[in-house]
């Protein structure tokens, strides 16, 4: 590892640890992970007692490559993005995610003051984050950290997450072509539901893994 990389990692570690401390102050169970591997191992341990595992469609969770390991453990995977599903099957899986044993998702932004900010198109991902599943694990790579408030977090999502996500999902939005948000009114607009989770939800066992690696968009 170069000295530059070492210093970059150290700087991000301080920010990640600050976010963890703020999340804990806000009542969440938060864990600092030095790497994606540490986060994957945490998820596998926490999945032991779960029969059904829901996937919110997060690139961060894809990056962790836990799906195959969970399948080998005999878990039922509820993934509405799996290839070959009909629209009806996708919708059915989204409904079942709302009541799964363990829901895995990323977050579009995490403020250093310990708030999770997300923008969703359908609302299934954000809905499953705060009520329904018995346990929720949120994966937050260091690239999701925002030193600011809700408005700054929303700006991060509109600048760094929504345009590439619209492109990835092949939506016909202006940002999928230009890379910039124009607050469109497109039928394909993916920014339709904005949520701020600023304290641990009362009835949901929610864990936030703050990882000192870039994860997802
Ligand atoms: S509002 Fe429209 S243009 Fe802006 S990020 Fe969302 S989908 Fe893209």
From the CB of residue 207, how many other CB atoms can be counted at a distance below 10 Å? 18
The CA distance from 191 to 58, in Å, is 15
- What is the strand order of the sheet 102-106 is part of? 29-33, 205-211, 135-141, 102-106, 52-55, 76-79
What is the pLDDT averaged over residues 25-53?
A: 98
Angle at the Cα of 115 from the Cα atoms of 153 and 119, rounded to 5 degrees? 50
Q: Best of 175, 186, 192 to mutate for ligand 1, by most ligand atoms within 8 A of CB?
A: 175
CA of 174, closest atom in ligand 1: 3
CB of 154 within 6 A of ligand 1: the answer is: no
The two most distant CA atoms of the chain are separated, in Å, by 52
For 52, 175, 181, 191, 192, the CA distances from 184, given in Å and listed in that order, are 37, 8, 7, 9, 11
149-161, pLDDT tens digit by residue?
Answer: 999 999 999 999 9
98-131, pLDDT tens digit by residue?
Answer: 999 999 999 999 999 999 999 999 999 999 999 9
Q: Are strands 116-120 and 109-111 parallel, antiparallel or unpaired?
A: antiparallel
pTM for the whole structure: 0.96
Q: Are 155 and 162 in contact (CB under 8 A)?
A: no
What is the pLDDT averaged over residues 49-75?
A: 96
CB of 156 within 6 A of ligand 1: the answer is: no
Question: What's the pLDDT score for residue 134?
Answer: 97
């Amino acid at each position: 590892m170069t000295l530059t990389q070492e210093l970059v990692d150290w700087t991000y570690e301080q920010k990640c640890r600050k976010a963890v401390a703020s999340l804990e102050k806000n009542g969440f169970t938060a864990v600092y992970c030095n790497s994606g591997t540490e986060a994957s191992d945490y998820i596998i341990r926490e999945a032991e007692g779960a029969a059904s595992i829901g996937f919110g469609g997060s690139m961060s969770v894809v990056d962790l490559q836990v799906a195959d390991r969970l399948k080998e453990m005999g878990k039922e995977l509820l993934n509405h993005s799996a290839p070959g599903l009909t629209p009806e099957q996708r919708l059915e899986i989204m409904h079942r995610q709302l009541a799964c044993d363990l829901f895995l998702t990323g977050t579009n932004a995490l403020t250093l003051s310990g708030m999770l900010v997300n923008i969703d198109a359908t609302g299934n991902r954000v809905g499953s984050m705060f009520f329904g599943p018995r346990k929720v694990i949120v994966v937050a790579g260091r690239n999701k950290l925002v030193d600011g408030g809700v408005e700054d977090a929303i700006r991060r999502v509109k600048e760094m997450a929504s345009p590439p996500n619209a492109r990835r999902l092949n939506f016909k939005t202006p940002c999928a072509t230009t890379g910039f948000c124009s607050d469109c009114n497109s039928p394909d607009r993916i920014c339709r539901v904005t949520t701020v989770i600023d304290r641990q939800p009362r009835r949901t066992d929610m864990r936030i893994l703050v990882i000192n690696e870039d994860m997802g968009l």
